[in-house]
Amino acid sequence: MKSEKHEARMSNDARIAVLETTILNINTTLIDIKNDIKQMDKKFEAKFDKFEAKLDKLQDRLWSGFLWLIGMMIGLAGLIARTQHWI
**pLDDT tens digit string along 60-71?**
999 999 999 999
The number of residues making up the chain comes to 87
Instruction: List the chain domain ranges.
Output: 10-83
pLDDT digits (tens, 9 = 90+) for 20-32: 999 999 999 999 9
Q: How far is CA 31 from the centre of its chain?
A: 21
CA gap 19, 12 in Å, rounded: 10
**What is this structure's pTM?**
0.53
